[in-house]
Amino acid sequence: MSPLWNRRREPSPQGLAFRAMFDEFNAGDPPRSFGMGRRWLAVQSQRPKLVAENLDAAVAPCRWGTGLELADDDERLFITPSVDGWVLIIGVEGNEENLQRLSSTIGPAFAFDARDRAQASWVRAVDLDVQRRALRDEAAVLDMAAAQTIDPRTLAERPEAEGPGWLGRLVRLRTSIWTPSRVGPPVA
pLDDT single digits (tens) 128-143? 899 999 999 999 999 9
pLDDT at 174 (0 to 100): 44
Q: In the chain, pLDDT over 70 holds for what percent of residues?
A: 74
- For the stretch 77-106, pLDDT in tens is 999 999 999 999 999 888 999 999 999 999
Give the model's pLDDT for residue 16: 52
> What does the alpha-carbon distance between residue 98 and residue 96 come to, in Å, rounded to a whole number?
6
User: For residue 109, what is the DSSP state?
Assistant: E
User: What integer is the mean pLDDT of 146-161?
Assistant: 89
Q: Is the pLDDT score of 61 beyond 70? A: yes
pLDDT of residue 181: 44
pLDDT of residue 73: 63
Burial of 143 (0-12, 13-18, 19+ CB in 10 A): middle
pLDDT of residue 113: 94
Residues with Cβ within 8 Å of residue 146, at least 6 apart in sequence: 153, 154
Vertex 33: Cα angle to 73 and 41 (nearest 5): 45
Coil, helix or strand for 86?
Answer: strand
Q: What is the pLDDT of residue 185?
A: 40
For 171, list phi and psi in degrees, rounded to 5. Answer: -110, -30
Question: Residue 130, SS3?
Answer: strand
Segment 102-119 mean pLDDT: 92
pLDDT tens-place string over residues 1-28: 445 455 555 655 655 555 555 445 555 6
Which pLDDT value is given to residue 52? 93
Distance in angstroms (rounded) separating the CA atoms of residues 63 and 3 = 27
- Bridge partners of 112, per DSSP, are 40, 122
Global pTM value: 0.77
Alpha-carbon span 1 to 86, nearest angstrom: 41
Query: How far is residue 25 from each of residues 20, 66, 73, 172, measured CA to CA in Å?
Result: 8, 12, 26, 29
Q: What is the pLDDT of residue 30?
A: 82
**What's the chain's average pLDDT?**
81
Q: Which parts of the chain fold into alpha helices (H)?
A: 13-26, 48-54, 64-70, 96-105, 138-148
Instruction: Report whether 109 contacts 45 (CB < 8 A).
Output: no
111, 94 contact by CB (below 8 A)? yes
